[in-house]
Amino acid sequence: MLNASLRQLSLLLSEKKISSTELTSEFLSRIKALNPDLNAFITIDEEKSLDQASAADQMIAAGRSTPLTGIPIAQKDIFCARGWLTTCGSKMLSNFVSPYDATVIERFDQAGMVNLGKTNMDEFAMGSSNETSYYGPVKNPWDRLAVPGGSSGGSACAVAARLAPVATGSDTGGSIRQPAALCGISGIKPTYGLVSRYGMIAFASSLDQGGPMAKSAEDLALLLNTMVGFDEHDSTSLQRAKENYAQDLEKPVNGLRIGLPKEFFAEGMSSDVSSAIEAALAEYRKLGATFVEVSLPNSKLAVPVYYVLAPAEASSNLSRFDGARYGYRTAQYSSLEDLYTKTRAEGFGEEVKRRILIGTYVLSHGYYDAYYLQAQKLRRLIAEDFRKAFEQCDLIMGPTTPTVAFNIGEKCDDPIQMYLSDIYTSTASLAGLPGMSIPAGFGSKNRPVGLHIIGNYFQEAQMLNVAHCYQQVTNWHELTPPENL
């Protein structure tokens, strides 16, 4: 049951071989047993979850079910959920109970899915290792000395450790794809604007995008069918015809042109990751795909560009957390300015403060043109590089991360090295392109390696098809972490 796909679980529920209440209870029991060590969940509310499961059983009995009805899902704690503690991994929101649902939560509720709880994350989604959370670091279930990646590390850990069949995540510079790679699961960041950001607590508004995390590409497709859609509450939401992302999963990939950016296969990638990626590409060659060398000459600038633009937007978005309206408030203050200063000093963690300071600096008078404006120009050049590359190929592939998961605490004192974890993923984010990571073997210390797939705008269905075909001839996505670590 724990390793079943969404289709298998849906069939078992529709045929009444198992009830949603029984399925939810099984996962809640597993969370209770393993979460104290893994720390994947921040908030669990068994009563709420079982009430939703009971309602799902009634939907199934009445013949009103969808393919996802009754299936449990873990929600990243960046999505507001009515009546649930929604902390964004921060002390600043440690007492915030959301009065409304994010659109993503609402759509899964309407489909009849069951919320298992809210997963741990880097504070305000700022981090690459899930070590900046106010609630402590998440452990990688493949090796509990290692980080799970961030910022969606709690969701990735929950799916990998089979604490949940599927989960939601958010991706600003790689925060779905990077933890998916480090935990050996599948995750996709859709084209910017396809998934509503309404009710998803903002980090960098021009980059943030919600997406699903699951064991397989097929499961991702079924989740995207529910997540994607226009939302009038979100000014960046795109209005497009509805797609069925699961209908072409079995389409052969013979003749597919895969672009290999020479910049992705240069120095910086560890040998163990390189070996796993080469083996994955060899499988695609067997499936009939062809390879084309492409160039993304400005990709080397993606990390510095990202760490100018994202903090700039964060410094604006996080100004709302001032202790005056909701969330944490300092206990003693002498004036309104003192309230703001002490609340933010006490409520935000070190990484969040660092990014607010960087963002405020690059937006300040005298530095705006030199940093922020230049970064915006370079962002345009990065997108143009992709446009030219897609004239030669259908999809782009490479490693998701330059190394396998590093140890907890290993990079905490070196923010630059931490930021370089996003070197391959941040390019697609800056261009607004869809990207996904799928399991592609193991590297050093038996830690997972992820294959990164980048598509052109709105090519999620093709990406999922290509990933699914790979998963039909490999079993990396079916392997589970040893539980005795």
**Chain CA centroid to CA 260, Å:** 23
Active site residue: 151, 186, 237, 429, which one?
Answer: 151
Phi, psi at residue 152, to the nearest 5°? -85, 35
175 as an active site residue: the answer is yes
Active site residue: 19, 65, 76, 133, which one?
Answer: 76
Q: Are strands 395-399 and 257-261 parallel, antiparallel or unpaired?
A: parallel
Cα–Cα distance measured from residue 208 to residue 194, given in angstroms and rounded to the nearest whole number: 11
Cα–Cα distance measured from residue 303 to residue 251, given in angstroms and rounded to the nearest whole number: 35
- Are 158 and 164 contacting, i.e. CB atoms less than 8 angstroms apart? yes
- The terminus-to-terminus CA distance of the chain in angstroms comes to 22
181 closest CA partner among 128, 117, 238: 128
Give the list of residues 6+ apart from residue 155 with CB closer than 8 angstroms, or none.
Answer: 40, 74, 76, 119, 121, 167, 168, 169, 179, 213
> Given its phi and psi angles, is residue 392 left (phi above 0), alpha (psi -120 to 50 degrees) or beta?
alpha
* Angle at which helices 302-317 and 374-389 cross, to 10°: 130
**Cis peptide preceding 155, ω within 30 of 0:** no
Active site residue: 175, 237, 299, 315, which one?
Answer: 175
CA atoms within 13 A on the CB side of 416: 1
148 closest CA partner among 450, 417, 424: 450
251 as an active site residue: the answer is no
CB count within 10 Å of CB 234 equals 16
189 as an active site residue: the answer is no
- Give catalytic residue positions: 76, 151, 175
